[in-house]
Structure formats: structure tokens, C-alpha cells
């Protein structure tokens, strides 16, 4: 489960977030590219390839797409505070 106290600094405010790669709990982003290739409208990569949220979903369809990325993340670095 994503650590809400270790959010990537480039996340925009909202319920979805990605964790910083320096998360000591082993849930930090590993730059696998699953989310930003699966939902590039909502997730982007920083200069090191680590993911962060660039747009929060609004519609039910968009939320479903972001939840798919959350569930597909191999290290659980995507969180949902909603």
C-alpha cells in the first residue's frame, strides 16, 4: 500500500498520488512505466523515470482507469486518499 507521507513532490493535489522513490517502506516508485504508459493523461515520469500524478480523474471512467493503474503497480506505489 502506498505511503501517503512519502508522496512524490511533483504530484498535483488530489486523491490519487504516486510515492517518492526514496520511500524506505519498499513502496516507492521503481520507474517500471506501467502507469504513465497505461494512462498518460494522468501519470507522467520525472527525469529519473519515476511516476507522479499530473491530472486527477474526474469522471467514473477516468477514476476506473486510474484504479487500474493503482492495481497494476508492481510495488504498490500509487495511492488513493479518496
Taken in order 56, 62, 66, 67, the sign of the CA dihedral is positive
Which pTM value belongs to this model?
A: 0.94
Residue 19 has, within 13 A of its CA and on its CB side, a CA count of 26
| Total structural domains within the chain | 1
pLDDT band (50, 70, 90) for residue 18: very high
Q: Which pLDDT tens digit goes with each residue over 36-79?
A: 999 999 999 999 999 999 999 999 999 999 999 999 999 999 99
Residue with cell 490519487: 16
User: Residue 27 is part of a domain; what is its CATH number?
Assistant: 3.30.70.20
- pLDDT of 24 strictly over 80: no
**What is the residue range of 56's domain?**
4-80
Res 1 pLDDT > 90: no
Q: Which residues pair with 51 in a beta bridge?
A: 45
10-18: average pLDDT: 98
Q: How many angstroms separate the CA atoms of 47 and 44, rounded?
A: 10
User: What average pLDDT score do residues 17-24 get?
Assistant: 87
Amino acid at each position: 500500500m502506498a505511503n501517503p507521507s512519502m508522496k512524490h513532490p511533483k504530484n498535483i493535489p488530489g486523491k490519487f498520488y504516486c510515492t517518492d522513490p526514496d520511500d524506505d517502506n519498499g513502496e516507492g516508485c521503481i520507474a517500471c512505466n506501467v502507469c504513465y504508459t497505461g494512462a498518460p493523461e494522468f501519470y507522467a515520469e520525472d527525469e529519473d523515470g519515476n511516476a507522479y500524478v499530473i491530472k486527477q480523474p474526474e469522471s467514473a471512467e477516468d477514476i476506473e482507469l486510474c484504479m487500474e493503474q493503482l492495481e497494476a503497480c508492481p510495488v504498490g506505489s500509487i495511492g488513493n486518499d479518496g
